[in-house]
């Protein structure tokens, strides 16, 4: 027997379950197929657990500096087992919430491995879903009118640098550590690598970051990357840039030793563990794409602006299509895909308007073009920059390093990009995202009254700084 659905979603991560909820709201009969737990990577192995650990690291760091605020504390100790327990409790709470949302939406959830079949007795089109179960139970067949592929991604590694979970870890294994290492080498200075570097340094781990390019956080504005690196160096983090790790030199004995080519020389690095953080790769294998006409280019599924594949009844979203590998991006892609397959006329997603956040200490956040990108695209620009040191709330808060930078198109005064580094900027970037979506000008941000004393005042000052009219600087 095969059960029929309007939509079957392959993958119950953030993008998949949000799309399923939207489809349910539109009156569709929906099923989600997930081989692991609802919530996917973001909830169980990514966004949520890593931010829980970062929060514990923040509290530990702040407690050690409590004397600066006139608060006397006793002996401060870190109980990493309780840090991990707190992380697990947060995951479990949110997991139960997602399951409740599926029940509320009358969405059927199948826990098994889903694979797309070609034309069969169930359907003349490819898209029937076969679900395999680990316990050997007979496969289930689902026959959907539409399929949404939301199978996500997994950590990428380097050739010859195999993840063993003991000496060499990806972020998946690092999240399960029962104790903190004394030292660690992080290979890769992108967002994930920098968040882990910041967290582990705050926990007291000796951290070395090895980055292949000449800039950490290579997708960020140069000024932001430099400021993040400067502040992380104060924590004792060592950075080696322009370095190619030589995987074949890896040695494991009472820790790890590895070499990297830096310029014309080679350097040797030793630590207790290695964390490989060189990006993620889409989960496109073994899900039945070969049974369809779906096009895969450079390891990711090719789609239209409404996330249709070459098989027009099969859509794909999230990490599996490349682009901005962010949970909030996958969610919005899923909503657009579902509305499109339902016959609505959704707006396509403008990726230039999507904020991106880095939850290290210092935090960083951005939306739109970097200064380099704006110049490379031929814009004549004006730039306003304003420091947190001139913001009263930042001094009260005790974190006054960093700044906000606004890039304006000189021709029409539209905002091209906003870049932030400093306290709580991951919460403040949404104002910039809204301004960008509405084609706001710096003048409009400057004349939107920001309450005093707040960190958000820096947005108004940075907007005024574009024309050199800042008040407090």
Comparing C-alpha atoms, which of 318, 280, 323, 321 is closest to residue 188? 280
Average pLDDT value over all residues in the chain = 97
Longest dimension (CA), the chain: 75
Structure confidence at residue 136 (pLDDT): 82
**397: pLDDT confidence band, cut at 50, 70 and 90?**
very high
Residue 360 to residues 37, 140, 299, Cα–Cα distance (Å): 27, 44, 29
Q: What's the whole-number mean pLDDT along residues 229-244?
A: 98
What domains, with CATH codes, occur in the chain?
2-154+281-351 (3.50.50.60), 157-278 (3.50.50.60), 362-465 (3.30.390.30)
Contact 168, 250 (CB under 8 A): yes
Q: Flag whether pLDDT at 1 surpasses 80.
A: no
**73: pLDDT confidence band, cut at 50, 70 and 90?**
very high
Structure confidence at residue 473 (pLDDT): 87
> Rounded to the nearest 5°, which phi and psi values hold at 379?
-75, 140
What confidence tens digit (pLDDT) does each residue in 123-135 have? Answer: 999 999 999 998 8
Omega before residue 286 within 30° of 0, cis: no
What string of H, E and C letters represents the secondary structure of the chain? CEEEEEEEEECCEHHHHHHHHHHHHCCCCEEEEECCCCEHHHHHHCHHHHHHHHHHHHHHHHHHCHHHHCCCCCCCCCCHHHHHHHHHHHHHHHHHHHHHHHHHCCCEEEECEEEECCCCCCCCCCCCEEEECCCCCCCEEEEEEEEEECCCEEECCCCCCCCCCCCEECHHHHCCCCCCCCEEEEECCCHHHHHHHHHHHHCCCEEEEEECCCCCCCCCCHHHHHHHHHHHHHCCCEEEECEEEEEEEEEECCCEEEEEEECCEEEEEEECEEEECCCEEECCCCCCHHHCCCCEECCEECCCCCCECCCCCEEECHHHHCCCCCHHHHHHHHHHHHHHHCCCCCCCCCHHHCCEEECCCCEEEEEECCHHHHHHCCCCEEEEEEEHHHCHHHHHHCCCCCEEEEEEECCCCCEEEEEEEECCHHHHHHHHHHHHHCCCCHHHHHCCCCCCCCCCHHHHHHHHHCCCCCCCC
Structure confidence at residue 359 (pLDDT): 98
What confidence tens digit (pLDDT) does each residue in 308-343 have? Answer: 999 999 999 999 999 999 999 999 999 999 999 999
What confidence tens digit (pLDDT) does each residue in 31-66 have? Answer: 999 999 999 999 999 999 999 999 999 999 999 999
Q: What does pTM read for this prediction? A: 0.96
The residue ranking higher by pLDDT, 383 or 122, is 383
Structure confidence at residue 135 (pLDDT): 86
Comparing C-alpha atoms, which of 237, 243, 249, 163 is closest to residue 205? 237
**Strand duo 356-358 + 273-276: pairing:** unpaired
As a whole number of angstroms, the distance between CA 233 and CA 448 comes to: 36
Cβ contacts of residue 164 below 8 Å, gap of 6+? 252
Q: Quick one: tokens of 43?
A: 């909830």
Catalytic residue among 44, 419, 452, 472: 452
Between CA 299 and CA 142, with CA 13 as vertex, the angle to 5 degrees is: 85
Contact 119, 126 (CB under 8 A): yes
Between CA 257 and CA 20, with CA 153 as vertex, the angle to 5 degrees is: 155
Structure confidence at residue 445 (pLDDT): 97
> Rounded to the nearest 5°, which phi and psi values hold at 434?
-65, -45
Structure confidence at residue 97 (pLDDT): 98
Tell me how far the alpha carbon of residue 179 is from its chain's centroid.
Answer: 25
As a whole number of angstroms, the distance between CA 316 and CA 304 comes to: 9
State yes or no: is 452 an active-site residue. Answer: yes
Between CA 326 and CA 334, with CA 329 as vertex, the angle to 5 degrees is: 125
As a whole number of angstroms, the distance between CA 268 and CA 259 comes to: 4
């Amino acid at each position: 027997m095969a059960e029929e659905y309007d939509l079957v979603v392959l993958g119950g991560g953030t993008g998949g379950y949000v799309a399923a909820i939207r489809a349910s709201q539109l009156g569709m009969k929906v099923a989600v197929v997930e081989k692991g737990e609802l919530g996917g990577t973001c909830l169980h192995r990514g966004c949520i657990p890593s931010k829980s650990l970062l929060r514990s690291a923040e509290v530990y760091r702040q407690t050690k500096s409590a004397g600066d605020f006139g608060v006397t504390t006793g002996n401060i100790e870190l109980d990493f087992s309780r840090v991990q327990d707190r992380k697990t409790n947060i995951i479990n709470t949110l997991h139960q919430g997602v399951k409740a949302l599926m029940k509320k939406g009358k969405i059927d959830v199948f826990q098994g491995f889903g694979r797309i079949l070609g034309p069969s007795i169930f359907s003349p089109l490819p898209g029937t879903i076969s679900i395999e179960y680990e316990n050997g139970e007979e496969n289930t067949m689902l026959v959907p009118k539409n399929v949404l592929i939301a199978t996500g991604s997994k950590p990428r590694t380097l050739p010859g640098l195999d993840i063993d979970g003991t000496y060499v870890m990806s972020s998946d294994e690092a999240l399960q550590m029962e104790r903190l290492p004394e030292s660690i080498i992080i290979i890769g200075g992108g967002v994930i690598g920098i968040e882990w570097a910041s967290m582990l340094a705050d926990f007291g781990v000796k951290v070395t970051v090895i980055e292949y390019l000449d800039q950490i956080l290579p997708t960020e504005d140069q000024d932001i990357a430099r400021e993040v690196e400067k502040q992380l160096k104060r924590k004792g983090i060592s950075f080696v840039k322009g370095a190619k790790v030589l995987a074949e030199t890896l040695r494991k004995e009472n820790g790890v030793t590895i070499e990297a080519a830096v310029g014309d020389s080679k350097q040797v690095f030793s630590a207790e563990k290695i964390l490989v953080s060189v990006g993620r790769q889409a989960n496109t294998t073994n899900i039945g794409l070969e049974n369809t006409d779906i096009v895969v280019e450079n390891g990711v599924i090719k789609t239209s602006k409404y996330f249709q594949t070459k098989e027009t009844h099969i859509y794909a979203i999230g990490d599996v299509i490349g682009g901005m590998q962010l949970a909030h991006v996958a969610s919005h892609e899923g909503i657009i895909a579902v509305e499109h397959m339902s016959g609505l006329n959704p707006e396509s997603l403008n990726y230039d308007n999507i904020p991106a956040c880095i939850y290290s200490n210092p935090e960083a956040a951005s939306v739109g073009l970097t200064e380099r990108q704006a110049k490379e695209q031929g814009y004549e620009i004006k730039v306003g920059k304003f420091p947190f040191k001139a913001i009263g709330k930042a001094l009260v808060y005790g974190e006054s390093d960093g700044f906000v930078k606004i890039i304006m198109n000189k021709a029409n005064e539209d905002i091209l990009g906003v870049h932030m580094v400093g306290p709580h900027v991951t919460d403040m970037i949404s104002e910039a995202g809204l301004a960008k979506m509405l084609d706001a000008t710096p003048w409009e941000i400057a004349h939107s009254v920001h309450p005093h004393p707040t960190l958000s005042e820096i947005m108004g000052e940075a907007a005024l700084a574009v024309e050199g009219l800042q008040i407090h600087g």
